[in-house]
Amino acid sequence: MMIVMKESATEDEIGSVVEKIERAGALAHRSQGARVTIIGAIGDVEQDASVESLGLEGQPGVDRVVPILKPYKLASSQIRHGERTVLDIEGRKIGGEHFALIAGPCTIETREQTLTTAEVVKDAGAALFRGGAYKPRTSPYAFQGLGQEGLRLLAEAKEQSGLPIVTELMDMRDLEPVLEVADVVQIGARNMQNYPLLAEVGRSGRPALLKRGLSSTLDELLMAAEYILKEGNPNVMLCERGIRTFETAYRFTLDLMAVPVLKELSHLPVIVDPSHAAGRRDLVLPLSLAAAAAGADGIIVEVHPNPDEAICDGPQALIADEFADYAAAVQSAAALAGKAFTTA
């Protein structure tokens, strides 16, 4: 249920509606728009019924009561009345007219590789540096990431380049060390439906980049985002990274329709990962241009100084020496959608 307050509603009137909702056992989520305040009454079916029986329509300051039709509530565009969420990661804005280029290696391998890549992507206009210390690998025999040593190198890369860090959390037991370094916690495609992990990241309050599961629908992605939002963490970015389809000519099918459709369904920023969808370097530029022109709020892309020697995902990594040209092209495509690169 969504309670839209009148423009003239006073703080006391808003407070009284919040109190009634909470007394009915539901969560009252206040969203302050440019003109009006919207209070989301979030709860299960029973709590919804209790809120409905409050007769809030007649309350002072209430304009109207509208049901939220989607199964996700806080992620729904309805709750923000058309306003978009803009994240602020140490001064880098993501969403609205701001476009974030997030770049770095698939996995942290060495100090040299990490620091070189961070400098290159920073000079080319990247807003954030990505790199995995804990890697979700299909084979249990493949390199699983440097773990704590990788986190230490990420911290050094941030110190040197000034770029905020995006890194993946796979296991709740690593939450504390990951939070020491991550400005944005990445939830990988394989963990999109790891609900206790999502709730934990929600409780941490740290901005999250939530990847779409390999075979997940947009509704399932938005329900996963809801798990984070529900814990009081509003800083969620959605990420399209390619899904499984019947097509076998490439690794995954990058679902670019997800960009405008997610932006219709939700107020959250939408990021595109062309690297994991393609699995091939030559496809990364055209997919990036298409994503940026389609209105994505950012791109997360893999870069390596020497992809032939990369431990992980080398064939899809952009070559660091060519990254500045790539970034300039993406910048022009983002401009087509009315967006500018965000930097500090």
Q: How far is the CB of 53 from Mn ion (least distance, A)?
A: 51
Neighbour-count burial for 69-108, b at 16+ CB within 10 Å, e otherwise: ebebbbbbbbbbbebebebebeebbbbbebbbbbbbbbbb
Residue 40 binding ligand PEP, by CB under 6 A? no
Q: How far is the CB of 132 from ligand PEP (least distance, A)?
A: 5
- Near ligand PEP by CB under 6 A, which window of 38-46, 82-90, 153-161, 183-191? 183-191
- Near ligand PEP by CB under 6 A, which window of 61-69, 186-194, 262-270, 318-326? 186-194
Q: Are 318 and 281 in contact (CB under 8 A)?
A: yes
Neighbour-count burial for 202-232, b at 16+ CB within 10 Å, e otherwise: bebebbbbbbbbeebebebbbbbbbbbbbee
Report the alpha-carbon angle 82-224-277, nearest 5.
Answer: 90
- Residue 178 to residue 166: CA distance in whole angstroms: 10
The contact mask relative to Mn ion for 70-109 (x = CB under 5 A, - = no) is: ------------------------------------x---
| Residue 241 binding: pick among Mn ion, ligand PEP, none (C-beta 5-8 Å cut-off by kind) | ligand PEP
Sorted by sequence, the CB contacts under 8 Å of residue 186 that are 6+ apart come out as 130, 132, 166, 167, 168, 169, 208, 209, 211
Q: How far is the CB of 276 from ligand PEP (least distance, A)?
A: 4
The contact mask relative to ligand PEP for 264-303 (x = CB under 6 A, - = no) is: ---------x--x---------------------------
Q: How far is the CB of 19 from ligand PEP (least distance, A)?
A: 42
| Residue 189 binding: pick among ligand PEP, Mn ion, none (C-beta 5-8 Å cut-off by kind) | ligand PEP
Q: Please choose, from the candidates 103, 159, 96, 156, the residue with its C-alpha nearest in 3D space to the C-alpha of residue 127.
A: 103
Q: How far is the CB of 67 from ligand PEP (least distance, A)?
A: 34
Residue type, 344: A
Q: Which of residues 221-280 bind Mn ion (CB under 5 A)?
A: none
Q: How far is the CB of 201 from Mn ion (least distance, A)?
A: 20
What residue ranges bind ligand PEP (CB under 6 A)? 106, 132, 136, 188-190, 211, 241, 273, 276
